[in-house]
Structures are given as C-alpha cells and as structure tokens.
A and B are shown apart, each in its own frame.
Chain A
Amino acid sequence: MRTTAISDLARPSLAKGVRLQFDSTTGESVLLYPEGIVELNETAHEILSHCDGRTLVEIVYELAKEYEADSNALAADVRDTLSDLRRRKLIEFK
C-alpha cells in the first residue's frame, strides 16, 4: 500500500467530527465519527492521547521516554498507526 511519508514536524490531530471516547463496555478507547466507530488498540490509544498539538518527533520522544522504548522502532509504529488513521480520514496533519 502506498502511503505518503509523514514529516517529523507534522502535528497530528483528530479530523473534524471525530471524537476520542472511552468505551465503558470494553474498557478500551474508540474513535466515533458520523455513522462509524473504530475500536482502538492500546498503541493507537496512547499515540492519539499525545496528539494535542505536538509534532510527530515530540510524540515519539515522549512515548519512548514513558515506555523506555527504542525510539527508532517506536517511530516506525507511530508512523504506521498514523498513516492508517489518516487513510481512514480519522486524523489530519497541521
């Protein structure tokens, strides 16, 4: 699948009309949008909780610190998740 590269300085945020919500039935997070629901895994939830105006590079730095993880591997995960969400028009970059 072809995906356009995401810049290190891109600032991901939820797309218009999309809401991040805790689902008390499952204890997991979901994205809600017109006529649709996406159940998020823990990785996606963690990434989206950090999408508050920070750049991609800042998000990776924060997550690597919190999880004591290798930032190169983490950066790849973050990019994959964000690309997938962008393809589904659930997030946008500023």
Chain B
Amino acid sequence: MTAPRPYALLAEITHRCPLHCPYCSNPVAASLCEAPRRRPQGGGSSNAELTTEEWRRVIREAAALGVLQIGFSGGEPLARRDLVELIRAAREAKLYTNLITSGIGLADDRVRVMRDAGLDSIQLSFQSDEASLADEIAGTRAHERKLAVAAKIRAAGIPLSLNFVIHRHNIDRLTQMIELTKALGAERVELANVQFYGWAFRNRAALLPTREQVDRARDIATAAKARLAGKIDIFYVLPDYYGTRPKPCLNGWGQRYLTVNPVGDVLPCPTASSAIPDLRFENIRTRDLDWIWRESESFNRFRGTEWMPEPCRSCPQKEIDFGGCRCQAALLTGNAANTDPVCEFSPNRSRVDAVLCHINSSTGHAPDWTYRTNPTALPVSV
C-alpha cells in the first residue's frame, strides 16, 4: 500500500542511562551501548551507536520525508556528548525539537547552549513527588538533582513538561505530583500509567496497580484537569489492561511515527525490536530512511487494515483503534498479528483478565522488581 507521510521521529540516541527504573521500556537484552568514539576505525560494526554524522543524515532524511517533530530520547540522551550538535542539525532541518530526559547531567551552561542551538521544549522525567520514593524507584539518588535541573530549565525559559510514569508504588501520590508540577512552574504534565514492554513487562507483577488504585487515580486526574484548565495541561494516560478497548497505538503502524534506535535500526515503534522477534528491521547504515519507511517489510507488515484478522477485520472500530498494539499482541499471545488482547472482543482477553485477577486478589506486598541495568559493553574488536 502507499505510505503516508510521517510526522514525528523518535531519536533514541543511546540506551545508556544513569537511572535504573524498573518500568523502562528499553529492551531488556540490549547489547547496544558502545559510545561512537570507542568504535574501531573503519569497523562499521552494527552494534555501535550511530556517529554524529550518521545522526545528521537521519535527521536530514527524516525532514525530507515530511517529519516535522523530533524527540531526542534514550536511555538518557544527555549521555551523548554531541547532543547539542544534533539539536542544531534538527533545527537546521526546521524540526520542532523536544528533549526527553531524566535531567541527570544537565549543567547550567548546557541548558543555555541547547536553547541557543534551537531546542524547543524539554520533557523532564520524575519518579515521584518526593525524594525517598523517587530515588528508590530510580535505583539511584536523582530526585534532588532533578529539582535543581527543573529550576535551570525555567531560568533558561525553555517550555517544560514533567513526565511521571505511574505504577502500583506511586499511583496513590497523583495529587502530590500535580502539586509538584505547579511548584516547578511547568506548563504541562504527563501522568502516564506504565505500559508493559521491555523492563516493565518483566516487572509487571510488581508494577501493575490494583483496580481500586486505578479508579481513585482516574477521579483525581479528571478533577485536576478541570481545576487547572488554562493553567497546566494534564495528560492522563489510562492503564490499558483495565480498559475494554485497546489504545490506538501509534495512530496506526507506519502511519505517523518512526523510531531510530541507538545503532540505527529503524522501527515503526520503539518497543517492536524486542517484542516482535520475527520481524526484521532495516538499518540506516545499509538503507536510506525513505526506502525503509515506504518499502520495508517491517513498516508494511501491519500498515493499513488488510493484515487484520477477525474480530478486527469486520469491526467498525478498526479505523479508530487500528487493532491496538502489535507489541502487546506479540508479548501476550505470541503472535503480533492478533487483535490486542486488551480488547474485550479478543479471543485472548482472558490472558489479561488472569493477570488482573492475580493482582487484585493477592494480599500483602507486591513482589520486588528487577532494576534496569545498562547494556553491557561489547568487546571492541580490532
């Protein structure tokens, strides 16, 4: 089928990160961490991070394809020393440039340099509203530093959004998180219930909130949205396991978004590389972005509605939710082409219900989680 034009590129420029959040959506088995400066000359290894020049090419090709927005993400994008150069390249390509960061490593002068290079907006992650819980979730002492970073971003005049990932251990503090957003002077806050991919999928039993928690949080978010309308934009992302219809993932596969990961694999969705093992992804070191977007099997496999099985195929919702999330179908049913099992019409909905039943009937504390570890360094071959 004919490819539409993409609107946004997620540039995952590194999977290295100083935080160890157990809900990270990065692949658990990442072996993608060599900084580009450590690459052997002329090595052409596909397991090393893209170089500055390679990212510049990706940015130019994305803009030529029609992309209007870029999000620099990771891992922690500040771990790349060339981030400012990449921001400059994005601005030269007239892209709206957004940095999605933990804030760790953001010194005063770097904020201003990034602003002057054309950075349009920053999304700063927080794990909770107060240090003890936040640091426990992050697996490191980060909260106080984030507060300082938020002040630096405000001082530099860059639009600020706070991002909270919501789960069983912080969902009861939604009110305080919104208070922190006000106190830090952010224009926008995302309160996004954790989605179960990568590390979060591994830690699902520890992270999934109870139905009672979810109902209470929804009421708090709804009330806060009304109360703060015109002051702070509140985006509350529902936990899809507790829904009856799937989320319209990506607004359809290969329709609006593309992701380039640290080593240059081009993905229709950031979690696809680990969730859908039978899909082969193209790399910008061997193909240009235009071809990958339009022609590659990975982008065309679930584009449109032709691939859909029943009950999606004859469903009036199929152009609204696009059958839900391919990664979730793959992780929960073993087949990415199945209807997202969150959907009440999916023959596999019982798998989601079994998980919910277990969480809501178990007593006492949730099990411990496994902290996200950094990708292991690959030996440099000579």
Contact = CB atoms under 8 A, between A and B. Distances in A.
Contacts of A37: 7, 68-69
B68 A30 contact: yes
B230 A34 contact: no
Interface in B66-120: 66, 68-69, 94, 96, 98, 120
B121 A34 contact: yes
A23 interface: yes
B187 interface: yes
A57 to B, nearest CB: 24
Interface in A13-38: 16-17, 19, 21, 23, 25, 30, 32-35, 37
B121 A17 contact: yes
B233 interface: yes
Given A34-B188, A37-B7, A21 B68 contact: yes
B94 A17 contact: no
Nearest to A88: B233
A34 B187 CA distance: 10
Nearest to B235: A35
B161 A34 contact: yes
Interface residues of A, number: 13
B235 to A, nearest CB: 8
Contact of B98 (A21, A23, A25, A35): A35
B68 A32 contact: yes
- Of A21, A23, A33, A37, most buried by chain B (CB within 10 Å of CB) is A33
A17 B233 CA distance: 13
A19 B120 CA distance: 9
Contact of B5 (A16, A19, A25, A89): A25
Contact of B159 (A21, A30, A34): A34
B120 to A, nearest CB: 6
A23 B94 CA distance: 10
A23 B188 contact: no
B255 to A, nearest CB: 13
Contact of B120 (A17, A23, A30, A89): A17
B26 interface: no
Interface string B1-36: 000010100000000000000000000000000000
A25 to B, nearest CB: 4
A23 B68 CA distance: 8
A49 B368 CA distance: 56
Contacts of B233: 89
B187 A16 contact: yes
B66 A25 contact: yes
A16 B159 contact: yes
Given A16-B187, A34-B161, 12 more contacts: A16-B159, A17-B120, A17-B159, A19-B96, A21-B94, A25-B5, A32-B69, A32-B120, A34-B188, A35-B98, A37-B7, A37-B68
13 contacts: A17-B120, A17-B121, A17-B159, A17-B187, A30-B68, A32-B96, A33-B96, A34-B159, A34-B161, A34-B188, A35-B69, A37-B7, A37-B68
Interface of A: 16-17, 19, 21, 23, 25, 30, 32-35, 37, 89
Interface of B: 5, 7, 66, 68-69, 94, 96, 98, 120-121, 123, 159, 161, 187-188, 230, 233
